[in-house]
Amino acid sequence: MLQNIDVPTPDLAATIWSNYVEVASAALSQGQWRTARTMFAAALNEAENVNFCVRRQIASLHGLAYAEMHCGGREDSGLHLRKAFRLICQGHLDDVDSLGRIACMLADFYLEKKQPARALPVLKTACSKIRLLRGWQSPALIPVHRRMALIYAEAGRNDKADYYVSRIFHSGDDTLRSMRSRSFS
């Protein structure tokens, strides 16, 4: 005889997901990377399979990628970041801060692998989407522009590097004023 199977209600599913993320975040803050990875994986499973929610899926992927980076799972981290970035670019999230953080993490992943040609399109896409949603003065653009300036400077594209440094300069961020005054030639 079959028993009734309890299916979590949306409110209960949200609470379960929040609990996983809360434990994962606490583990991250204490440097317990494997526990964080396990909890973010459970949160991702909850977001993808039990009570499908793209926003929670993106947040879970972001956290899981961060934990994977610290557990030696660099390739898995890259997969999670690419998936989160793709979901955001498909219009599932209009949180420009999350977009900027995920794009920068993914770009850093590519830069660490000496693949600036893969990092740049990610940053350009993030830049376009952030500008579209919040305009040129959005603080979420600063870390994106920093990485773009770095990539162009390292490639000897000083005109492009200077352009992005000037965007940062005009945003009011003081950390790169000295870089702006320095010649890239």
CATH number at residue 74: 1.25.40.10
CA distance 104 to 173: 17
Pair (83, 28) in one structural domain: yes
- Show the DSSP H helices in the chain as ranges: 10-29, 33-45, 54-71, 74-87, 96-112, 116-134, 141-154, 158-170, 177-181
Shared domain for 24 and 72, answered yes or no, is: yes
Q: What is the dihedral of CA 35, 41, 42, 43, to 10 degrees?
A: 110
Q: Are 162 and 151 in contact (CB under 8 A)?
A: no
pLDDT at 151 exceeding the cut of 70: yes
Domain-embedded: residue 2: no
**How confident is the model at residue 185, as a pLDDT?**
37
What is the model's pLDDT at position 1?
A: 41
What's residue 28's pLDDT? 94
For residue 10, with 0-12 CB atoms within 10 Å meaning exposed, 13-18 middle and 19 or more buried, which class applies? exposed
The pLDDT tens digits for 69-120 are 998 888 899 999 999 999 998 887 778 888 999 999 999 999 999 999 999 9
Look at 2 and 17; give whichever has higher pLDDT.
Answer: 17
132 pLDDT exceeds 80? Answer: yes
Rg (CA), the chain: 19
pLDDT of residue 62: 95
Kindly state whether residues 65 and 133 are assigned to the same domain.
Answer: no
Q: Last residue of a domain, which of 93, 114, 130?
A: 93
pTM: 0.81
pLDDT confidence of residue 128: 94
Point out the domain boundary residue: 93, 117, 140: 93
Query: Do 128 and 185 lie in a common domain?
Result: yes
Residue 1 counted as domain residue: no
Total count of domains within the chain: 2
The answer to whether 136 and 167 are in contact (CB under 8 A) is yes
Whether 184 and 115 map to the same domain: the answer is yes
Token readout for 97 is 């801060």
Domain residues for the domain of 83 are 10-93
Which of 71, 93, 115 corresponds to the end of one domain? 93
